[in-house]
């Protein structure tokens, strides 16, 4: 892989992950979801508001980077199929 393509892929992944994190951060929790999330955090050892916010940050970051990486990977696969030499 060319260094330029690697830099572009990393930049796109970071930009998309940041966008996903921003979008996920603006989704309001319902009361039942907040209670379920607090119970889940308690199972993992996260107690208190600050710790639960940290847990939400970690989960959001993981999901955002996963979605962004999958999106960039599939876009690269689609572009390489279009630009592959035809025989």
DSSP output for the chain = --HHHHHHHHHHHHHHHHHHHHHHHTPPPPHHHHHHHHHHHHHTT--SHHHHHHHHHHHHHHHHHHHHHHHHHHHHHHHHHHHSPP-
Per-residue pLDDT of 19-44, as tens digits, reads 999 999 898 888 898 899 899 999 99
Q: Where are the domains of the chain?
A: 3-82
Residue 84's pLDDT band (boundaries 50, 70, 90)? low
Give the position of tokens 């979801």. 33
* Proportion of the chain above pLDDT 70, given as a percent: 94
- pTM for the structure as a whole: 0.81
């Amino acid at each position: 892989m060319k260094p330029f393509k690697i830099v572009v892929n990393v930049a796109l992944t970071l930009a998309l992950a940041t966008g996903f994190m921003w979008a996920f951060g603006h989704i309001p929790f319902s009361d039942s979801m907040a209670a379920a999330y607090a119970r889940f955090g308690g199972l993992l050892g996260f107690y208190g508001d600050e710790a639960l916010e940290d847990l939400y940050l970690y989960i959001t970051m993981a999901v955002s980077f996963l979605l962004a990486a999958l999106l960039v990977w599939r876009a690269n696969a689609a572009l390489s199929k279009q630009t592959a030499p035809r025989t």
